[in-house]
Amino acid sequence: MLRLHEYAYHRPDSVAEAARLLAAHPGRARLIAGGTDLMPNMKHGLFTPEHVIALKQLSELHGIEERDGELVIGAAESLAAVSRHPAVRGRFSSLARAAGSVAGPQLRNMGTIGGNLCLDTRCTYYNQTYFWRNALGYCLKKDGDVCHVTKVGKKCVAAHSADTAPVLMTLGAVADLVSVGGRRTVAVADFFVADGIENTVRGWNEIVTCVRIPLPSARTRTAFQKVRQRGAVDFPLLNIAVAAELGEGQEIESMRMVVSALGARPRVIAGLDRVAAGRRLDAAVAEAIAERAFEQCHPLTNIIVDPEWRRAMVPVYVRRALAELV
C-alpha cells in the first residue's frame, strides 16, 4: 500500500489568499487542483510538501467564455468540461479532442486544464515507487546524480506528457499567472523549457489563473492526434497538434505544428512555410511536412516503448493529423 505523508491542507477562499499561502511557505507548499497527478506523485514520494493548497473550489478559476476576441478558460475548469463545451468544440476541435483524450472519464472529471499545463514531466525511471527508485539508486530528477536515459548527461530529459499543451501552443494561447508580486501573461509557446526537472517558466510562487485563446478566423483548421498503448487511460507516447489558415482556394497561408511527449519541451516543427506556404494540402505536401517532422523528432528511452518505433510513428501520425485538418 502506498501511503501519504502528513501535511497541512489549506482551502483558501480567493486566489489572493492562495498566493499568500504559497508565498508564506517557500519550497514547502504545493498547489493542488484535481490532484490526479499530484496525489500519485506524493504517494510515490516524489513530492513531500508540508502544505497543500487547494484551488478547485475558487470561483475565480472557473468559467469558459468568449470575451474581447478570446476564449477564456479558467484554470480550474475540468478537462471534461473543456472537451464538452460548445465554444471549444465549435471553434477549437483540436483542443476538444486533446482534453477529451486525457486519461479516462474519471480523471477528466477531476483533472483541470491548469493542472494539465503544469503537469510534471514523466519518465520510466522516475514515476515509480520510492522502493523501486531506491533499488535503482534514484536519478538526477529526484534524489540521485545520474540520468538512466542519457547515461552521461547532467540533464534530465523526462517527457512532457500533457495533451492540451501542444494544442494550446498551435492556437497561440497565453496563460495568466498571479503571485503576491502581481500578475503576468506568458505565451504557452514560451511556457516550457528543455529541463525535465522543472520544465516550465512558472515561478514557485505563481498560480495559473486562466488560459486565453484568440478566436480563430473562419479559415482556421485544427487537428490533434495521440499515440498511446491503449485506447484510453494511457499517457501519450506521441502527440501531434496542428493549426493552419487556409486561403480561398484551400491553399495553406500559414501552419503551426507541435510534436510532444518526446523530451521535456514540446517541439515546434520548424520550416513548414518552406514546404507548405501557398500550396494546397495534397499528398506531396503532406509527405514533405511528414518528412520535416521525422527529421526533427528524436524520441528517447524515457518512455518504456521502443524509441525507433515511436520515431517511425511520427510521419504516420503527422499524415493522419493533416488528413483530419482538411
Ligand X SMILES: Cc1cc2nc3c(=O)[nH]c(=O)nc-3n(C[C@H](O)[C@H](O)[C@H](O)COP(=O)(O)OP(=O)(O)OC[C@H]3O[C@@H](n4cnc5c(N)ncnc54)[C@H](O)[C@@H]3O)c2cc1C
Q: How many residues bind ligand X (CB under 6 A)?
A: 34
DSSP result, 172-238: T-EEEEEETTEEEEEEGGGTB-S-SSS-B---TT-EEEEEEEEPPPTTEEEEEEEE-SSSSSPPPSE
Which residues, numbered 54-93, are part of the site for ligand X (CB under 6 A)? 55, 75, 79
Q: Is residue 114 within the footprint of ligand X (CB under 6 A)?
A: yes
Radius of gyration of the chain (CA): 20
Binding test (CB under 6 A) with ligand X, winner from 83, 94, 112, 199? 112
Residue 149 binds: one of ligand SF4, ligand X, none (C-beta under 5 to 8 A by kind): ligand SF4
Residue 107 interacts with, from ligand X, ligand SF4, none (CB under 5-8 Å by kind): ligand X
**Nearer residue to ligand X within complex by CB, 199 or 222:** 199
Q: Confirm or reject binding of residue 207 to ligand X (CB under 6 A).
A: yes
The cell numbers describing 130, all together, are 520510492
Residue 132 CB, nearest approach to ligand SF4 (Å): 12
CB-nearer residue toward ligand X: 258 or 285: 258
Select the binding partner of residue 317 from ligand X, ligand SF4, none (C-beta < 5 to 8 A, by kind).
none
Rounded distance, CA 200 to CA 279, Å? Answer: 35
Q: Which parts of 153-172 interact with ligand X (CB under 6 A)?
A: 161-163
Site for ligand X in 6-45 (CB under 6 A): 30-38, 40
* Of 234, 225, 233, 232, nearest in space to 167 by CA: 225
Q: Which is nearer to ligand X, 262 or 290 (CB)?
A: 262
CA distance 65 to 151: 47
212 phi, psi to nearest 5 deg: -125, 130
The entry of ligand SF4, ligand X, none near residue 147 (CB within 5 to 8 angstroms by kind) is ligand SF4
Out of 42, 58, 208, 257, which residue is the one contacting ligand X (CB under 6 A)?
208
Give the list of residues 6+ apart from residue 318 with CB closer than 8 angstroms, or none.
225, 240, 242, 257, 259, 286, 289, 290, 293, 294
Which residue, 10 or 133, is less far from ligand SF4 as judged by CB? 133
Give the integer Cα–Cα distance in Å for 76 and 60: 9
Window contacting ligand X (CB under 6 A); options: 101-109, 123-131, 247-255, 269-277: 101-109
Give the binding site for ligand X (CB under 6 A): 30-38, 40, 55, 75, 79, 102-103, 107, 110-112, 114-116, 118-120, 161-163, 207-208, 233-236
